[in-house]
Amino acid sequence: MSDLDGKAALVTGAGRGIGKATARHLAQQGMRVGVNDVDPALAQATVSEFRAEGLTALAIPGSVTRKADAGAMVAQVQAEFGPLWLLVNNAGVFSDGPTAELSEEAWDKTFSVDAKGVFLCSQAAIRQMIPRQQGRIVNIGSIAGLITRSAQIAYCSAKAAVIHFSRCLAVEMAPHGITVNCLCPGMTWTQMLSVSSAERGTPLDELTALIPAGRMAKEEDHASLVAYFASEAAGHLTGQVVAVDGAQSLYHPLTMQR
Ligand SMILES: NC(=O)c1ccc[n+]([C@@H]2O[C@H](COP(=O)([O-])OP(=O)(O)OC[C@H]3O[C@@H](n4cnc5c(N)ncnc54)[C@H](O)[C@@H]3O)[C@@H](O)[C@H]2O)c1
Protein backbone atom coordinates (compact mmCIF):
# COMPACT_ATOMS: atom_id res chain seq x y z
CA MET A 1 0.00 0.00 0.00
CA SER A 2 1.26 3.51 -0.85
CA ASP A 3 2.06 5.86 2.03
CA LEU A 4 -0.18 8.37 0.22
CA ASP A 5 -3.19 6.16 0.89
CA GLY A 6 -6.01 8.08 2.59
CA LYS A 7 -4.23 11.44 2.51
CA ALA A 8 -5.92 14.57 1.11
CA ALA A 9 -4.72 16.42 -1.98
CA LEU A 10 -5.85 19.45 -3.95
CA VAL A 11 -4.87 19.74 -7.63
CA THR A 12 -5.64 23.04 -9.33
CA GLY A 13 -6.61 23.18 -13.00
CA ALA A 14 -7.34 19.45 -12.89
CA GLY A 15 -10.28 19.42 -15.29
CA ARG A 16 -8.03 18.30 -18.14
CA GLY A 17 -4.43 17.84 -19.24
CA ILE A 18 -1.51 17.44 -16.84
CA GLY A 19 -3.63 18.34 -13.80
CA LYS A 20 -6.23 15.69 -14.58
CA ALA A 21 -3.63 12.97 -15.16
CA THR A 22 -1.90 13.97 -11.93
CA ALA A 23 -5.14 13.94 -9.95
CA ARG A 24 -5.98 10.49 -11.36
CA HIS A 25 -2.55 9.08 -10.52
CA LEU A 26 -2.70 10.43 -6.96
CA ALA A 27 -6.19 8.99 -6.50
CA GLN A 28 -4.92 5.65 -7.84
CA GLN A 29 -2.34 5.74 -5.02
CA GLY A 30 -5.28 6.00 -2.61
CA MET A 31 -5.30 9.77 -2.12
CA ARG A 32 -8.56 11.61 -1.67
CA VAL A 33 -8.35 14.31 -4.28
CA GLY A 34 -9.96 17.73 -4.66
CA VAL A 35 -10.27 18.40 -8.40
CA ASN A 36 -10.24 22.15 -8.92
CA ASP A 37 -10.93 23.92 -12.19
CA VAL A 38 -12.15 27.37 -13.18
CA ASP A 39 -14.56 25.52 -15.51
CA PRO A 40 -17.06 23.80 -13.18
CA ALA A 41 -18.26 21.41 -15.91
CA LEU A 42 -14.70 20.16 -16.52
CA ALA A 43 -14.12 19.62 -12.81
CA GLN A 44 -17.41 17.74 -12.46
CA ALA A 45 -16.86 15.58 -15.55
CA THR A 46 -13.39 14.62 -14.29
CA VAL A 47 -14.73 13.66 -10.89
CA SER A 48 -17.55 11.59 -12.43
CA GLU A 49 -14.94 9.75 -14.53
CA PHE A 50 -12.73 9.13 -11.48
CA ARG A 51 -15.63 7.88 -9.36
CA ALA A 52 -16.63 5.47 -12.12
CA GLU A 53 -13.07 4.12 -11.84
CA GLY A 54 -13.55 3.60 -8.08
CA LEU A 55 -11.41 6.60 -7.11
CA THR A 56 -12.15 9.16 -4.39
CA ALA A 57 -12.49 12.70 -5.69
CA LEU A 58 -14.46 15.90 -5.16
CA ALA A 59 -15.16 18.64 -7.72
CA ILE A 60 -14.00 22.04 -6.50
CA PRO A 61 -14.82 24.82 -8.95
CA GLY A 62 -13.04 28.13 -8.47
CA SER A 63 -10.36 30.39 -9.85
CA VAL A 64 -6.85 30.31 -8.44
CA THR A 65 -6.70 34.05 -9.14
CA ARG A 66 -9.19 34.85 -6.37
CA LYS A 67 -8.06 34.80 -2.76
CA ALA A 68 -11.54 33.85 -1.50
CA ASP A 69 -11.70 30.90 -3.91
CA ALA A 70 -8.23 29.68 -2.89
CA GLY A 71 -9.25 29.68 0.78
CA ALA A 72 -12.56 27.98 0.03
CA MET A 73 -10.85 25.31 -2.09
CA VAL A 74 -8.54 24.29 0.73
CA ALA A 75 -11.40 24.44 3.26
CA GLN A 76 -13.60 22.21 1.08
CA VAL A 77 -10.92 19.55 0.70
CA GLN A 78 -10.30 19.52 4.44
CA ALA A 79 -14.02 19.38 5.32
CA GLU A 80 -14.52 16.40 3.02
CA PHE A 81 -11.18 14.56 3.19
CA GLY A 82 -9.31 15.72 6.32
CA PRO A 83 -6.06 17.69 6.70
CA LEU A 84 -4.51 18.78 3.43
CA TRP A 85 -1.31 16.83 2.81
CA LEU A 86 -0.59 17.92 -0.75
CA LEU A 87 -1.25 20.99 -2.88
CA VAL A 88 -0.41 20.77 -6.58
CA ASN A 89 -0.39 24.23 -8.17
CA ASN A 90 -1.01 23.15 -11.76
CA ALA A 91 -3.53 25.66 -13.20
CA GLY A 92 -1.93 27.71 -15.94
CA VAL A 93 -2.59 29.69 -19.10
CA PHE A 94 -0.32 30.31 -22.06
CA SER A 95 0.24 33.52 -23.97
CA ASP A 96 2.55 34.52 -26.77
CA GLY A 97 3.16 37.19 -29.37
CA PRO A 98 5.80 39.85 -30.02
CA THR A 99 6.55 41.87 -26.90
CA ALA A 100 6.09 45.16 -28.75
CA GLU A 101 2.48 44.19 -29.39
CA LEU A 102 1.61 42.27 -26.22
CA SER A 103 -1.44 43.76 -24.49
CA GLU A 104 -1.41 44.72 -20.85
CA GLU A 105 -4.43 42.42 -20.41
CA ALA A 106 -2.51 39.41 -21.77
CA TRP A 107 0.42 40.15 -19.43
CA ASP A 108 -1.89 40.56 -16.43
CA LYS A 109 -3.93 37.43 -17.16
CA THR A 110 -0.81 35.29 -17.54
CA PHE A 111 0.71 36.57 -14.31
CA SER A 112 -2.61 36.40 -12.51
CA VAL A 113 -3.15 32.67 -13.19
CA ASP A 114 0.41 31.38 -13.55
CA ALA A 115 2.14 33.35 -10.76
CA LYS A 116 -0.36 35.02 -8.43
CA GLY A 117 -2.53 31.88 -8.41
CA VAL A 118 0.42 29.87 -7.10
CA PHE A 119 0.92 32.41 -4.31
CA LEU A 120 -2.75 32.54 -3.29
CA CYS A 121 -3.25 28.76 -3.22
CA SER A 122 0.08 28.18 -1.47
CA GLN A 123 -0.79 30.78 1.16
CA ALA A 124 -4.18 29.17 1.81
CA ALA A 125 -2.51 25.75 2.08
CA ILE A 126 0.38 26.69 4.37
CA ARG A 127 -2.00 28.40 6.79
CA GLN A 128 -3.41 24.91 7.37
CA MET A 129 -0.12 23.03 7.11
CA ILE A 130 2.05 25.17 9.44
CA PRO A 131 0.09 24.35 12.62
CA ARG A 132 0.44 20.63 11.80
CA GLN A 133 4.14 21.05 10.87
CA GLN A 134 3.75 18.91 7.75
CA GLY A 135 2.66 19.13 4.15
CA ARG A 136 3.78 19.09 0.54
CA ILE A 137 3.50 21.65 -2.24
CA VAL A 138 4.36 20.89 -5.85
CA ASN A 139 4.31 23.76 -8.32
CA ILE A 140 4.00 23.05 -12.02
CA GLY A 141 6.38 25.49 -13.67
CA SER A 142 7.68 25.05 -17.19
CA ILE A 143 11.00 24.80 -18.94
CA ALA A 144 9.86 28.13 -20.44
CA GLY A 145 10.91 29.57 -17.08
CA LEU A 146 14.38 28.03 -17.38
CA ILE A 147 15.26 28.66 -21.02
CA THR A 148 14.56 31.64 -23.24
CA ARG A 149 11.87 31.77 -25.89
CA SER A 150 11.28 34.57 -28.33
CA ALA A 151 7.85 36.21 -28.27
CA GLN A 152 6.60 34.38 -25.13
CA ILE A 153 7.66 37.06 -22.66
CA ALA A 154 4.70 36.92 -20.27
CA TYR A 155 4.56 33.11 -20.07
CA CYS A 156 8.34 32.70 -19.68
CA SER A 157 8.54 35.45 -17.05
CA ALA A 158 5.57 34.13 -15.07
CA LYS A 159 7.02 30.61 -15.06
CA ALA A 160 10.43 31.95 -13.98
CA ALA A 161 8.59 33.61 -11.11
CA VAL A 162 7.03 30.25 -10.15
CA ILE A 163 10.46 28.63 -10.11
CA HIS A 164 11.99 31.19 -7.79
CA PHE A 165 8.83 31.39 -5.68
CA SER A 166 9.21 27.64 -5.11
CA ARG A 167 12.81 28.02 -3.94
CA CYS A 168 12.01 30.93 -1.62
CA LEU A 169 8.97 29.23 -0.11
CA ALA A 170 10.96 26.01 0.36
CA VAL A 171 13.44 27.84 2.58
CA GLU A 172 10.69 29.53 4.57
CA MET A 173 8.69 26.30 5.03
CA ALA A 174 11.59 23.93 5.77
CA PRO A 175 11.52 24.60 9.54
CA HIS A 176 7.81 23.71 9.47
CA GLY A 177 8.27 20.27 7.88
CA ILE A 178 6.66 21.41 4.63
CA THR A 179 8.43 20.69 1.33
CA VAL A 180 8.04 22.83 -1.79
CA ASN A 181 9.28 21.64 -5.17
CA CYS A 182 8.83 22.73 -8.76
CA LEU A 183 8.26 20.36 -11.67
CA CYS A 184 9.01 21.94 -15.05
CA PRO A 185 7.33 20.06 -17.89
CA GLY A 186 8.76 20.14 -21.37
CA MET A 187 6.39 19.98 -24.31
CA THR A 188 3.42 17.78 -23.43
CA TRP A 189 0.63 17.16 -25.92
CA THR A 190 -2.31 18.69 -24.04
CA GLN A 191 -4.93 21.18 -25.19
CA MET A 192 -2.61 24.04 -24.17
CA LEU A 193 0.10 22.90 -26.58
CA SER A 194 -2.16 21.67 -29.39
CA VAL A 195 -4.00 25.01 -29.51
CA SER A 196 -0.86 27.15 -29.35
CA SER A 197 0.99 25.10 -31.97
CA ALA A 198 -2.05 25.20 -34.28
CA GLU A 199 -2.25 28.99 -33.87
CA ARG A 200 1.44 29.32 -34.74
CA GLY A 201 1.18 26.76 -37.55
CA THR A 202 4.02 24.65 -36.14
CA PRO A 203 3.76 20.99 -37.18
CA LEU A 204 4.07 18.30 -34.51
CA ASP A 205 7.23 16.74 -36.00
CA GLU A 206 9.01 20.12 -35.95
CA LEU A 207 8.29 20.41 -32.25
CA THR A 208 9.31 16.83 -31.51
CA ALA A 209 12.61 17.39 -33.35
CA LEU A 210 13.55 19.84 -30.57
CA ILE A 211 13.48 17.05 -27.98
CA PRO A 212 16.62 14.89 -27.71
CA ALA A 213 14.56 12.00 -26.30
CA GLY A 214 12.60 11.99 -29.56
CA ARG A 215 9.16 12.28 -28.02
CA MET A 216 7.03 14.73 -26.12
CA ALA A 217 6.39 14.23 -22.43
CA LYS A 218 3.30 12.26 -21.52
CA GLU A 219 1.01 13.64 -18.82
CA GLU A 220 1.83 10.54 -16.77
CA ASP A 221 5.56 11.42 -16.80
CA HIS A 222 4.69 14.42 -14.65
CA ALA A 223 2.07 12.67 -12.51
CA SER A 224 4.52 10.04 -11.25
CA LEU A 225 7.07 12.67 -10.17
CA VAL A 226 4.38 14.62 -8.31
CA ALA A 227 3.49 11.42 -6.42
CA TYR A 228 7.15 10.93 -5.54
CA PHE A 229 7.48 14.51 -4.25
CA ALA A 230 4.39 13.81 -2.11
CA SER A 231 5.68 10.52 -0.71
CA GLU A 232 7.38 9.90 2.65
CA ALA A 233 10.54 8.92 0.75
CA ALA A 234 10.88 12.53 -0.47
CA GLY A 235 10.60 14.09 2.99
CA HIS A 236 14.04 15.76 2.82
CA LEU A 237 13.74 16.79 -0.83
CA THR A 238 12.76 20.45 -1.04
CA GLY A 239 13.43 23.59 -3.06
CA GLN A 240 14.23 21.55 -6.16
CA VAL A 241 13.41 22.41 -9.74
CA VAL A 242 13.15 19.33 -11.93
CA ALA A 243 12.66 19.42 -15.69
CA VAL A 244 10.65 16.50 -17.06
CA ASP A 245 11.43 17.15 -20.69
CA GLY A 246 13.52 14.44 -22.37
CA ALA A 247 16.48 16.89 -22.23
CA GLN A 248 14.57 19.49 -24.27
CA SER A 249 15.79 22.33 -22.05
CA LEU A 250 19.41 21.29 -22.72
CA TYR A 251 19.01 21.14 -26.49
CA HIS A 252 20.88 23.48 -28.77
CA PRO A 253 20.92 22.99 -32.56
CA LEU A 254 24.73 23.18 -32.66
CA THR A 255 25.26 20.47 -30.08
CA MET A 256 22.97 17.79 -31.47
CA GLN A 257 23.67 15.24 -34.17
CA ARG A 258 20.47 13.43 -35.01
N1 LIG B 1 1.42 21.25 -22.12
C2 LIG B 1 2.67 21.63 -22.08
O3 LIG B 1 3.44 21.43 -23.05
C4 LIG B 1 3.23 22.30 -20.87
C5 LIG B 1 4.61 22.55 -20.82
C6 LIG B 1 5.15 23.19 -19.71
C7 LIG B 1 4.33 23.54 -18.65
N8 LIG B 1 2.98 23.30 -18.70
C9 LIG B 1 2.20 23.73 -17.54
O10 LIG B 1 1.46 22.63 -17.04
C11 LIG B 1 0.24 23.10 -16.44
C12 LIG B 1 -0.93 22.35 -17.06
O13 LIG B 1 -0.92 22.58 -18.46
P14 LIG B 1 -1.79 21.75 -19.50
O15 LIG B 1 -0.95 21.61 -20.70
O16 LIG B 1 -2.41 20.56 -18.86
O17 LIG B 1 -2.90 22.88 -19.82
P18 LIG B 1 -4.44 22.79 -20.21
O19 LIG B 1 -4.76 24.10 -20.83
O20 LIG B 1 -4.73 21.55 -20.97
O21 LIG B 1 -5.14 22.67 -18.77
C22 LIG B 1 -5.09 23.75 -17.86
C23 LIG B 1 -6.30 23.66 -16.94
O24 LIG B 1 -6.24 24.78 -16.03
C25 LIG B 1 -7.54 25.34 -15.92
N26 LIG B 1 -7.45 26.74 -15.49
C27 LIG B 1 -7.10 27.83 -16.23
N28 LIG B 1 -7.18 28.95 -15.51
C29 LIG B 1 -7.58 28.58 -14.27
C30 LIG B 1 -7.86 29.29 -13.07
N31 LIG B 1 -7.78 30.63 -13.04
N32 LIG B 1 -8.22 28.59 -11.96
C33 LIG B 1 -8.33 27.24 -11.99
N34 LIG B 1 -8.12 26.52 -13.13
C35 LIG B 1 -7.74 27.17 -14.24
C36 LIG B 1 -8.14 25.19 -17.30
O37 LIG B 1 -9.56 25.29 -17.29
C38 LIG B 1 -7.63 23.79 -17.71
O39 LIG B 1 -8.51 22.77 -17.29
C40 LIG B 1 0.21 24.61 -16.69
O41 LIG B 1 0.68 25.30 -15.56
C42 LIG B 1 1.16 24.78 -17.87
O43 LIG B 1 1.71 26.08 -17.93
C44 LIG B 1 2.43 22.70 -19.78
Q: How big, in percent rounded to 5, are the helix, strand and coil portions of the chain?
A: 50, 15, 30
Residues contacting ligand 1 via CB (< 6 Å): 12-13, 15-19, 36-39, 42, 63-65, 90-93, 113, 117, 140, 142, 185, 187-188, 190-193
Task: Judge whether 10 and 77 are in contact, CB under 8 Å.
Answer: yes
What is the predicted pLDDT for the residue at 257? 60
Q: Backbone phi, then psi, for 66, in 5-degree steps? A: -110, 125
What is the predicted pLDDT for the residue at 91? 99
Atom 24, ligand 1: which residue's CA is nearest? Answer: 13
- Residue of 50, 155, 165, 229 marked active site: 155
Query: If you measure from the C-alpha of residue 256 to the centroid of ligand 1, how many angstroms do you get, rounded to a whole number?
Result: 30
Atom 40, ligand 1: which residue's CA is nearest? Answer: 92
* Atom of ligand 1 lying closest to residue 219 CA: 16
- CA–CA separation, 20 vs 221, rounded Å? 13
What is the predicted pLDDT for the residue at 254? 79
Does 155 qualify as catalytic in the annotation? yes
Q: What amino acid is encoded at 242 in this protein?
A: V
pLDDT digits (tens, 9 = 90+) for 189-210: 999 999 998 888 888 899 999 9
Q: What pTM was computed for the model?
A: 0.98
Query: If you measure from the C-alpha of residue 191 to the centroid of ligand 1, how many angstroms do you get, rounded to a whole number?
Result: 8
CA 39 to chain centroid: 16
The CATH classification number of 8-188+219-247 equals 3.40.50.720
Pocket test for ligand 1, best of 44, 110, 192 (most atoms within 8 A of CB): 192
pLDDT digits (tens, 9 = 90+) for 25-76: 999 999 999 999 999 999 999 999 999 999 999 999 999 999 999 999 999 9
Burial class (CB in 10 A: 0-12, 13-18, 19+), 207: middle
pLDDT digits (tens, 9 = 90+) for 7-26: 999 999 999 999 999 999 99
Q: Backbone phi, then psi, for 140, in 5-degree steps? A: -95, 105
Residue 174, helix vs strand vs coil: helix
Domain boundaries, the chain: 8-188+219-247
Task: Judge whether 215 and 187 are in contact, CB under 8 Å.
Answer: no
